[in-house]
Amino acid sequence: MNLYRHSFIDDTEFAASPGKLVCVGRNYAEHAKELGNDIPDTPLLFMKPATAMVAMAEPLQLPAGDGSCHHELELALLIGQPLSRAAPDQCRVAIAGIGLALDLTLRDVQTELKKKGQPWERAKAFDGASPLSAFIPFDSALDFSSLTLRLTRNGGVQQLGSCGDMLFSVETLLSDISHNFSLMPGDVVLTGTPAGVGPLCRGDHLLCELDGLLKVETMVL
């Protein structure tokens, strides 16, 4: 049974229960290119259930027998207020916190699904597919473009990217999402991953960082 609850870095628990995860694919041009994907004209959205959420600080358990599982480090946004059909300049008020997420991806499974033109959920929405850090309370004055994501695996930097390189800004993403389905307190939005994704192996040690604001160490079982 998944006992995950959203929490802040001071260990206080967020009031709302975990809801859905709304994820954005190909939001960094270099990541799209490294996988041979087209760069989208509009945000590419997909969703995961609450059962995909687990605490990033706990050891990661990967599915067995499903081929390669890749790490994709992302900026995560915790939603604190309902958001529906909002303009970009109305969206920041709905953010309760920012943190880190790993969008774990069964790459071999995803490749086969894409060949068949099928949805990605089998590759991205399995139990435990989205480890999340604790959240930093959101500062409304934050400049998202100043944030840097870094994932270090076994002492070597695997992913390093600036949120300023997003194809679609945080405000644009939240507005676009809210025009397709409402965001509610406890929902989490994942904003895309920079280049450098790759396979995880049992015994890997990971350090996930957000611009000096947040560090999470974890390992793969």
Q: What is the pLDDT of residues 151-179, one digit of tens each?
A: 999 999 999 999 999 999 999 999 999 99
Q: With a threshold of 0.75, does the pTM exceed it?
A: yes
Which pLDDT value is given to residue 114?
Answer: 93
Read off the pLDDT of residues 115-144 as tens digits, 9 standing for 90 and up. Answer: 999 999 999 999 999 999 999 999 999 999
35 pLDDT higher than 90: no
Residue 45 near residue 21 (C-beta atoms within 8 A): no
Using the predicted structure, report yes or no on whether residue 1 has a pLDDT greater than 80.
no
Split at pLDDT 50, 70, 90, the class of 34 is confident
**Nearest C-alpha neighbor of 184 from the set 90, 80, 97, 92:** 80
In eight-state DSSP terms, residue 52 is G
**Residue 14 reports pLDDT greater than 80:** yes
Token pair recorded at residue 173:
């993403």
By C-alpha distance, which of 194, 213, 195 is closest to 97?
A: 213
**Domain ranges (residues) in the chain:** 21-219
- At 123 the pLDDT is 97
Homologous superfamily of 21-219: Fumarylacetoacetase-like, C-terminal domain (3.90.850.10)
pLDDT in tens, 70-88: 999 999 999 999 999 999 9
Calculate mean pLDDT across residues 52-66.
96
Residue 79: which residues within 8 A CB-CB, separation 6 or more? 19, 94, 95, 96, 183, 184, 185, 186, 187, 188, 189
